[in-house]
Structures are given as C-alpha cells and as structure tokens.
Amino acid sequence: MSLSYTDLRKGVFFVMNGEPYEVLEAHFLRMQQRKAVVQTKIRNLMTGKVFDRNFQPSDNFDEADMEKKEANFIYKAKGECWFHEIGKPGNRFSLKEELVGEAGQFLKQSTQVTTLVFNEKVIGVTLPVKMELKVTEAPPAIRGNTAQGGTKVVTLETGAKISVPLFVDEGDVVKVNTETGEYVERVQ
C-alpha cells in the first residue's frame, strides 16, 4: 500500500530506499509562503539508528509489510541477544544489542517478547511494557537523606540500574517500565 507524507504518524512502519523505518514522532508544520511539511523522528529498523527527517507532499513510500511473532529470550553473549520461537526451542535467532535498544537491559531468561519480522528476517523486539524484576543490590536508606527527592540507585537481577524510592531494599521485587526505564511500584 502506498503512503503519502500525511499518513506518517507515531507507530507507522514504512519502506524508504528499500529499508524499513518506524515513525517515532511526527508533527505537521506549515510555514508562511512555503509548502506544508511533516517533521519526523524515524528509526531505521535494520540499523537501529534514529534521525530527524522532513517529508514533503511530493514524497511517497510504501507501507512496510511487518509481521509480529512471539518469542522467548534465552541469553546475552558477545553483544548479541538470543531468542527462540515460542513452541519451537530449536528455532533460535539472535539480534545485536543495538537493535534491541535500551529496553534490552531489562531482559531476563524466559521473558516473552514480540518480534518484528520484515522480509522473513527478525529485525526488532518489543518487551512487555511493565516487568517485575528483583533488586540484587541496594544501598541502605540514610535517614534525612531526602534532599535528592528521596531516591537511590539500585541494581536489578538483569544488571540494570534504576532510581527507586528510599524504602526499596535488596531482595524486593519492583515493577519497571521498560520503555522509560523508570520504577513503577514495589511488588513485594
């Protein structure tokens, strides 16, 4: 399906120069004496690079034919994350950590993810928005230490470091937003 520049909205996938892109942000902009443009922030789904690009009425491209499949995370090694298709443990594949993105720091074994498939090739993964992770290291809360808003940095079971309220201790399980990397709540 052919797309015009007005179809570019957050979350739309399209093909430009033979490669798939995802629209992260889009703003319609009209300046005096000029044609309207759509200012976008897009991510190349093959390389993971994010950049700004303006599109004009003369720009046309095709909608990317993306397929989504469920998979399980197995492990990380040498800058790659390994997964297998659900129900098919022998059907393994890997993605470079750059393609997994910042959310990759919250991956733990057996985490179910949604993969993005383009031309029979897995090019990205989406983690659950909220995940429960155990706190493995937490500095003690110091009474009266609320000048910084009452937070401290802890280490989670995946090695990720996040800022949490002072009452969170080692051994607690916390819910984390994988899109923003922020603490949501203490589970137990």
Domain spans of the chain, in order of start: 2-63, 66-126, 130-186
More confident residue, 134 or 125: 134
pLDDT at 174 over 90: yes
Say whether 130-186 and 66-126 share the same fold.
yes
pLDDT at 113: 92
What class, spelled out in words, does domain 66-126 have in CATH? mainly beta
Domain 2-63 has CATH 2.30.30.30: yes
Distance of CA 147 to the CA centre of its chain: 32
Distance of CA 121 to the CA centre of its chain: 18
What class, spelled out in words, does domain 130-186 have in CATH? mainly beta
Question: What is the strand order of the sheet 2-4 is part of?
Answer: 2-4, 60-63, 13-16, 19-29, 37-44, 50-55
pLDDT at 137: 92
Q: pTM higher than 0.85 for the full model?
A: no
* Mean predicted confidence (pLDDT) in 82-101: 86
pLDDT tens per residue across span 112-126: 999 888 888 888 888
Backbone angles phi, psi at 105, to 5 degrees: -70, -15
**In which band, very low, low, confident or very high, does the pLDDT at 144 lie, cut at 50, 70 and 90?**
low
